[in-house]
Copies of this chain bind each other. A is one copy, B any other.
Amino acid sequence: MSVEAESAPAGGSAATRGSAGAGLRDQVHDAARRARVASRTLGTLTTTVKNRALHAAADAVLAHADAILAANAADLDAARAAGTAEAMLDRLALNPQRIDGIAAGLRQVAGLPDPIGEVLRGRTLPNGLQLRQQRVPLGVVGIVYEGRPNVTVDAFGLTLKSGNAVLLRGSSSAANSNAALVAALRGALAAEGVPEDAVQLLPSADRSSVTHLIQARGLVDVVIPRGGAGLIDAVVRDATVPTIETGVGNCHVYVHSAADIDVAERIILNAKTRRPSVCNAAETLLVDEALADTALPRLVDALSRAGVTVHDNPTEDDLRAEFLSMDIAVATVAGLDAAIEHINTYGTGHTEAIVTTNLEAAQRFTERVDAAAVMVNASTAFTDGEQFGFGAEIGISTQKLHARGPMGLPELTSTKWIVWGDGHTRPA
């Protein structure tokens, strides 16, 4: 079967159409329906076709670098005029080196194993019926994210490789950059005979397009919010489409009474200061009260010398905070079980670490701490799809359903049971 024969109807992206009469809700739902049509074909593409399309998309991003950088310059000008903070401007900014990185990311996804079609389980039943459970795409995936244009291309690459159509709802601050990137991607798909509605950019001028997306039950299979706690909470609270909560990390490092204090110092400094703005950074240091006069002052001193503001008499708010800055809450706890209790109360279920030389304590901690990742004598900074060997990640799930921890390609799939018989009927 030729791919072309199955292509979705032609037409611009939802972002570029939008007649005066059509409401925003209709516009989002229309995009979702076009995504569904595209997804029926995407789910049947061979790995070879998908990989070729990913390389073509990388080529197109490079070929359109000038237009993309010009669009990005317009976004940056507008953001500067609006008084946007320097850190946000840095996330928004593209340059030739970052464009190269974005294209390289697509080629890297092309090199990853294709999850679709993998047989997870199978058996022949006593009556001869042949059962197999196969990985299939989720279908239509919505991504809601903030002002980082690289996410636009990363999300496209991972969803295409896993056979899904993606609806991108980026930040209005990156609207021009995203439009230029998506135009390049869609052009590459069209040239490869892959439905260009595999990727559509939703309008971002009005906040309510997020609401329409997350309430398009039956049209959208899953929405993944990527961003700060406020964005994620709002999406999860108002969604009727299934969502995957990602990336809010109030991560702890607990220094057990039997810890090697050199190791503790190394780990807390790395977990706090390596990249304070990311979700796997440590936000609270818990020190066993047995070490209150020994390790505690040394660790506080080391953090202070590294430029960290130590909240050593933490309020309830400090203990709940995801600082994402060079701040840390420090508290003492009355032993292992008190540390576990504290973490299960205040943690967000992302990454939790213990520093100890005691095997029983390490085992009890890993068993009883309720989080996506639990580390023994290792920095919380390791919770990351690349570090875990997934090649790439779409986010880090902090929920328990469907996926937990770094999400790679398999986490963007569902399954289907395929059953072969030869006239089998079930006895009463």
Copies in the complex: 2
Q: Which of A180-188, A262-270, A303-311, A315-323 contacts B (4 or more CB under 8 A)?
A: A262-270
- Quick one: closest B residue to A384, CB to CB? B426
Given A402-B402, A404-B414, A417-B383, A423 and B366 touching (CB < 8 A)? Answer: no
- A86 close to chain B: CB less than 8 A: no
A389 close to B123 (CB less than 8 A): yes
B44 close to A367 (CB less than 8 A): yes
Show 26 A/B contacts (Cβ-Cβ < 8 Å), sorted by A: A40-B368, A43-B368, A125-B387, A129-B378, A133-B405, A217-B237, A242-B242, A260-B423, A266-B423, A274-B425, A274-B428, A362-B420, A373-B419, A375-B421, A376-B419, A376-B421, A377-B421, A377-B424, A378-B421, A379-B421, A379-B425, A401-B414, A404-B414, A404-B415, A404-B416, A405-B415
Specify which chain B residues have a CB less than 8 angstroms from the CB of A217 in the assembled complex: 236-237
A426 close to B274 (CB less than 8 A): yes
Give a binary string over A205-243; 1 marks a CB under 8 Å from any B CB, 0 the rest.
000000000000100011000000000000011001010
- A344 close to chain B: CB less than 8 A: yes
Give a binary string over A33-51; 1 marks a CB under 8 Å from any B CB, 0 the rest.
0000000100110000000
- A296 close to chain B: CB less than 8 A: no
What CA separation (Å) do A382 and B419 show in the bound complex? 9
What CA separation (Å) do A389 and B124 show in the bound complex? 10
A416 close to B373 (CB less than 8 A): yes
Given A138-B400, A417-B373, A421-B375, A387 and B426 touching (CB < 8 A)? Answer: yes
Give a binary string over A321-365; 1 marks a CB under 8 Å from any B CB, 0 the rest.
000000000000000000000001000000000000000001000
Specify which chain B residues have a CB less than 8 angstroms from the CB of A417 in the assembled complex: 372-374, 383, 388, 404-405
A378 close to B414 (CB less than 8 A): no
